[in-house]
Chain A
Amino acid sequence: MIDADVVVGLEVHCQLDTKSKLFCGCSTDYRNDGPNTHVCPVCLGLPGTMPVLNKRAIEYAMRVAKALNCTIIPESEFSRKNYFYPDLDKAYQITQYDKPLAEGGYVEIDGDDGKERKIPLTRIHVEEDPGRLVHMGNAERGRYSLVDYNRAGIPLIEIVSEPEMSSPKEARKFLNKLRATLEYLGVFDSDKEGSLRVDANISLRGSERVEIKNITSYKGVEKALTFEVTRQKNLLRRGLKVERETRHYLEARGITQSARSKEQENDYRYFPEPDLRPLRVQSWIKDIKLPELPDARRERFVQQYGCSLNHARTLTGELKMANFFEAVVAGDGKGLCTLAATWIADTLAGELNYRSMGIDAVDAKSFTSLLVLLKARTITDKSGIEIMRVMLDERLKGETVETPEAIVSRLNLAKTTGNDAELLGVIHDVIKENLKAVEDYRAGKNGALNFLVGQTMKKTRGRADPGELNRLMVEALKSAEQ
């Protein structure tokens, strides 16, 4: 079976980065505070309290709707989704049901076939986040659970896609693009823990659909879907049927697990929330202004800085990285653009990812200095990487981060030059110590020169320019012959 048979749809819940909650004045900045410290009678659902809609949250949601090319519905409505759960203090969630804020729209990704693809959206609606349970022990056998309502009432948007992604990888791209767009809009902070949660639908064409609930990381979505594709294909291969069901993703184990059937039988008894008036936004629509979005910025990076399309895509794929790039090239634009694009998109991004660090950890000025050293050929590329690693590790350990210049001098990384006596000395040493290789070279054996150059590189710890070294080695071998 080929990948074209996979059908994926996503429901993405994102916390909107407003200052106060969706229906009360409580602060949303709860992550560094103790449990139940950002609560009031309204978000605790105390008897008699009533919701008052946070206009800012609706503006944010409308920005998203506009950026994703949705049709904003002039009159939408909040409904109650009724179910019992200890983290849901009113025993209903105020959400939007049959009259959402926006419908239609699409997210453009570069598909697996390399072509740009528009993944259509069904709808976007606004709702409140429930609180959070903290299980003491594990969920199955823990003796009790504690409940924290700090999160209760945080505004969420739910973005529902049509089932038109054809692989886990496309789902990941969809999410990345969505995240970038939301960040560019200034309505979402992906660094905040739990700010994004995804439910994914997946089916193999002709089979039943499986829903994977509550995946909490970007990587998790791709992993969970990949696991499901394999699981479902194996079932079919063994002649079994895929059951229509809800499954949970177990992040730590990288697998999905069938939810208890009880959880699938909820009848939410939706009805219009009588404590809120219909939401009329017609007069706001024209006031929604959009900033430059990822696609436009990508085009601009190609035009303005001469970035390759791939580099531009990587750089603009995250707001902070795009801003970082522009900060670097703004300082000394001339001639650094191409170098900066390569070093940020290829090298730095990888080093950061390896350390699970964000680009916030890097100082644009220091990074510019590093590029200047590379541009002036004061250091080799290899030394450049070493310096970058030193700086990142220092930051990671919470030490004072040295300037690239300081690292160059402390580690003696300045590139050797042709008339560097030390380098010539090393070359002679290498020739003396590797007579066998020298013979091989003279016998015309391929690879002997590379071996000798490599040995020299090792001794100089990468400070020598490879091209230069090659030339000097050939000369040295010639003169040694005479």
Chain B
Amino acid sequence: MRKPWTRNLKSSCLTGSLLIAGILPFQAHAALGEPEASVATDVQQFQASVKSTLHASYRVHEIQLPSGTLLREFAVPGGNVFAVAWKGPAVPNLRQALGQYFDVYVGAAKLKRGGRTHIEVHQDDLIVQSGGHMRAFSGRAYLAQAIPAGTSTAELH
């Protein structure tokens, strides 16, 4: 219902990194739960291109991965990344995208399985939902407490 004001920053991998790194202090770690600046690290690590769009209460960094998969990272402007979502032919490098939460995901996933085409993990604040099959995967991970007020989880995809 909210029509967000959007600003598109379409750029190559290198300039995309510079743009974001130029605005915000550089961080060496990956995205989920990290400052928005860490998106630049992901873009660099993934050798990807990025397009950033500002919505009412968050900014979406759309990272086009070489595999063809689109990785979207949701951040509070100037704050932290609170969600990542992916869709495309390959599962992205989730260790990079989930950062410190990757090990939590792996640990929790061992205990709870939802079939080969679907997995859902709820571990404290972390929710990871991953689905799909060969050539078509989608999923997302978010920190429930960090979602900005007024933002629905339905927007996080």
Check if A and B associate. no
